[in-house]
Amino acid sequence: MKIRLGISFSSTNFQNYLRWFDPEVNAGKVELLELKAESSTLSDFESCDGFVLSGGCDIDTALYQGAANYPHKPEEFETERDHFEASIYQYAKKHQKPLLGICRGMQLVQVAEGGKLIQDLGDEANLIHKKSGNTDRKHSIQVHEGSLLSSISQQSSGEVNSAHHQAIDSNQLGNNLFISAWSTDTHSPEALEYKNKQDQAFMLCVQWHPERMEEKEKSPFSENIKQSFLASINHTR
């Protein structure tokens, strides 16, 4: 039976998320469902076996008591999307459905669990992490030994891409969250998972974009994550 995977819609590069799963879709193993704040319902959630929270616009600062103004603030927030994706996360957590958060999705999970964000990394760190035009940055990461990410990637370090100017505030982590990878250069958080995984489904968030990494089919920080995520869904169905 096909895995039905719900992916939260983003107006930014959404097709990359769909293409990432092309091999599994073409093999008849996975069916993808776009989840949109404007049209999706609880029955759509109920039909999904797992969820991906995609990247995109900054989260509304009102949701985590952040400063109203900061560098690189978007012209408009997508507050309806924020609340919608928080409901996806809470549904997945309550019903023990595997969930993968990507970039903005990682920050959404942090905020949903009561954590805070660093609203702008600053000029020096942005040269390492913030997207330049249409081009992602590249940087190295260190992976926490013994973490879920470590067991998935089988790597203690590596290179990933990034396109963000915000980060998880490691001094104000959300409930039961654990940082499982750090940027080597800026020491900003690069991955989140549950600290206590007992009675919890697979939940991994990464700050990079595995769906559009160069040679993503060979990268342990893309292909391994995707396959482990799908395997966890098959295991929990």
Query: Catalytic pick from 24, 85, 103, 139?
Result: 103
DSSP state of 133: T
Q: At a CB cut-off of 8 Å and minimum separation 6, what does 43 contact? A: none
Pairwise CA distance, residues 63 & 230, whole Å: 31
225: which strand partners?
none
Active site residue 103: yes
Query: Catalytic pick from 113, 190, 211, 223?
Result: 211
List strand residue ranges (DSSP E) for the chain, in order.
Answer: 3-8, 30-35, 50-53, 99-102, 117-118, 137-143, 157-162, 167-168, 177-183, 189-194, 203-206
DSSP 68-100: S--TT--SS--HHHHHHHHHHHHHHHHTT--EE
Pairwise CA distance, residues 191 & 143, whole Å: 9
Catalytic residue numbers read 103, 209, 211
